[in-house]
Amino acid sequence: MPLPRLEINYCTQCRWLLRAAWLAQEVLTTFELEMGEVALVPGTGGVLDIRLNGELIFSRKEAGRFPEAKELKQLIRDIIAPDKPLGHSDRK
């Protein structure tokens, strides 16, 4: 079974590359053994969508806000490694 692929589709018009890259770094640092790939996908129109294996797990437009790193890690963990402890990022 191939390792998971995360796509972060970000708005270039809004200059959200640094935010997307930071989220990618957080994910790769936390899931260094569990994650196969993180892709930064340029887009327009205020998009910041995050897909795991093609399935939308977070949308800035739907949520009305950006994801917290902790929240994103929990969403990913619950799908790819439910037993993985996240330390300080774990739910209380």
Question: What pTM was estimated for this model as a whole?
Answer: 0.93
pLDDT digits (tens, 9 = 90+) for 8-40: 999 999 999 999 999 999 999 999 999 999 999
Tokens of 38: 């993180």
CATH at 13: 3.40.30.10
Confidence class for position 60, pLDDT limits 50, 70, 90 = very high
Q: Indicate whether 90 pLDDT > 80.
A: no
Q: Is 64 exposed, middle or buried (0-12, 13-18, 19+ CB in 10 A)?
A: exposed
Structure confidence at residue 59 (pLDDT): 98
Total domain count for the chain?
Answer: 1
Structure confidence at residue 91 (pLDDT): 60
The per-residue pLDDT of the chain, averaged, comes to 95
What gap in Å lies between CA 89 and CA 18, rounded to an integer?
21
Range of the domain at 39: 5-89
- Cβ(76)–Cβ(31) below 8 Å: yes
What gap in Å lies between CA 44 and CA 33, rounded to an integer?
32
